[in-house]
Amino acid sequence: MFKKLNILDEADKRLQQKSKEVTFPLTKEDKKLIQQIISELTYSQIPEKQEEYNLRPGMGLAFPQLGIHKRIIVIVHEVEKGKFNNYVVVNPKIISHSVEMIAAEEGEGCLSINREVVGHVPRYARVTVTGFDEDGNEIKIRAREELSIAFQHEIDHLDGILFYDRIDKEKPLLNENEIRFI
């Protein structure tokens, strides 16, 4: 039985708090919640399910967006139509990144922000993320392009940063001479 998550809205000050490192083993509740997040993110990217459950499309969610201040992120990345790679990272850290910067041409979105935000968010084109899987095993992920943006976006949530905090207030829109768009 699918039950929609209760995602906090940007007005909720809990989204601005820094999350705490997680110790292992994860609780049963955390593991159950991770599975629920994977289901919702997957459904949100399948048009029929998106409509059936009235979901906004999203590829990532961090525990703080549910009011839980634990350093856990989940990303469901559609690698080809109907085929998804799931990433669950506990205590993620970006250990290296490219010099090259990119931005989502249409701007970024967030399941906690229910309005249009104009502006480009400069992100690293490639990142290497370390952390742990649900069972406490060390993992290392190399992400590029769209997936790199998703990791940076979700890790920002763990530090109480929303994507629009990274938009230059003086010059929100960049051009292709200033950044590479994806």
Domain ranges of the chain: 22-181
Q: How far apart are CA 96 and CA 89, in angstroms?
A: 16
Average pLDDT over every residue of 160-170: 98
Q: How far apart are CA 70 and CA 124, in angstroms?
A: 24
Confidence of residue 2 (pLDDT cuts 50, 70, 90): confident
Q: How far apart are CA 8 and CA 157, in angstroms?
A: 12
- Collect contacts of 166-175 with beta carbons under 8 A, ≥24 apart: 166/121, 166/122, 167/117, 167/119, 167/120, 167/121, 168/119, 172/118, 172/119, 172/120, 173/118, 173/119, 173/120, 174/103, 174/120, 174/122
Confidence of residue 74 (pLDDT cuts 50, 70, 90): very high
Residue 131 backbone zone (phi > 0: left; psi -120 to 50: alpha; other: beta) = left
pLDDT at 100 over 90: yes
Average pLDDT over every residue of 12-37: 98
Sheet architecture: strand order including 123-124: 123-124, 101-103, 180-181
Average pLDDT for the chain: 97
pLDDT at 1: 76
DSSP 70: B
**Does the structural domain 22-181 have CATH classification 3.40.30.10?**
no
pLDDT at 72: 98
Average pLDDT over every residue of 86-105: 98
Beta strand 101-103 pairing with 83-97: unpaired
Residues with active-site annotation? 154
pLDDT at 92: 98
Q: What is the pLDDT of residues 51-73, one digit of tens each?
A: 999 999 999 999 999 999 999 99
- Tell which residue, 150, 81, 143, 83, has the closest CA to residue 111: 150
pLDDT at 39: 97
DSSP 20: B
Q: How far apart are CA 45 and CA 56, in angstroms?
A: 8
